[in-house]
Amino acid sequence: MDFLKSYAVLFEEELQNINFPQKPETLYQPQRYILRNGGKRIRPVLALISCGLCGSGPKEAIPVALAVELLHNFTLMHDDIMDQADSRRGELAVHKKWDEPTAILAGDSMFVYSLLQLQNLPAQVDHKKVSKIFLNSINTVCEGQAMDMEFENRTDVTLDEYHRMIEGKTGALISSAMQMGGMCGNADQEQLGQLSLIGHSLGLAFQIQDDWLDVVADPDKFGKRKAGDIYEGKKTFLLLSALERCSEPEQKKILGLMADTPLSDSEVEEVIDILEMYNVIADTKEHYLEYYSRAEKALQQFGDSNYKQDLQHLIKYLKNRES
């Protein structure tokens, strides 16, 4: 994503300037560690671009960019405990490199550091209003994670609930990053609405595409085992679509297989046969492309600029990604 390099460079420079204290070590080392481990920085870059889209220099949105990236990393720290994930971006997860109490507490402190970034908003930006948008989106992220955990013990999850779950886990923070970025660029109410729509759409598109790639992508490029989600019995968009479409005996078959994970190779084959029989794989692609289209259409409402081109470029890149 070379076309995003200027944003990424700007952001990394500012991230380096966050001076976590040296002590207590167990509070701040984990925060430095997870930030050093990188990630795609997609949320801060979207905040910076959104500010540019509304007519200001992206630098105005640096406090927002820092806030959303810190917040995102705080959620990763806590999610990895909840999901018992041992590694993150090829390195040990914080709760494994240290321990769970340390990861809980370092996450809490990172949450505070995230919110403190908003103290540096440009003077003309309404701190209270930005805080409200940010906090509401964070709570929506919590709701998404709660739904996701509840789904594990349920066999009657609907596609509608699935949409709400990923709206929370992925859409809400991308959407608030873009809205808050826009506010730093003095966006008007209509622009904020468009930015919110773009963020939500991109979040949903990305997440459903992820489910799709699990079954379709070349595992060497995707970096995960082919159909790994199906082996693990995850309730992905594809699986829930199949459950809504197939016959009762097929439903029972699928739910039975998912109750005893991991699935065997032949069991995974069976599930994929059902996905294909009901055209789920092709329809899923159409579904996430529809969300990308919504984002593209909303973007059309903004005047031409380099920022608009960069975001168009990014959407195209995401749409065609194979990993």
Touching its own copies, residues 83-122 (CB under 8 A): 83, 100-102, 104-105, 108-109, 111-113, 115-116, 118-119
Q: What is the 3-state secondary structure (H, E, C) of 48-112?
A: HHHHHHCCCCHHHHHHHHHHHHHHHHHHHHHHHHHCCCCEECCEECHHHHCCHHHHHHHHHHHHH
Shortest distance, position 77 Cβ to its own copies, whole Å = 10
Binding-site size, its own copies (CB under 8 A): 37
Nearest CA among 216, 196, 85 for reference residue 137: 196
Closer by beta carbon to its own copies, 136 or else 155: 136
In the complex with its own copies, the residue whose CB is nearer, 142 or 281, is 142
Residues in the chain: 323
CB of 306 to its own copies, least distance (A): 32
Q: Which is nearer to its own copies, 57 or 101 (CB)?
A: 101
User: Residue 12, interface with its own copies (CB under 8 A)?
Assistant: no
**How far apart, in Å, do the first and last CA atoms of the chain sit?**
13
**Site for its own copies, residues 136 to 155, rule: CB under 8 A:** 136, 138-139, 142-143, 145-147, 149-150
The single residue among 10, 27, 255, 318 that binds its own copies, judged by CB under 8 A, is 27
Q: Cα–chain-centroid distance for residue 298?
A: 20
What is the rounded distance in angstroms from the CA atom of residue 291 to the CA atom of residue 302? Answer: 18
Do the Cβ atoms of 268 and 215 come closer than 8 Å? Answer: no
What does the DSSP 8-state code read for residue 200?
H
> Residues in the site for its own copies, rule: CB under 8 A?
24-27, 78, 81-83, 100-102, 104-105, 108-109, 111-113, 115-116, 118-119, 127-128, 131-132, 135-136, 138-139, 142-143, 145-147, 149-150
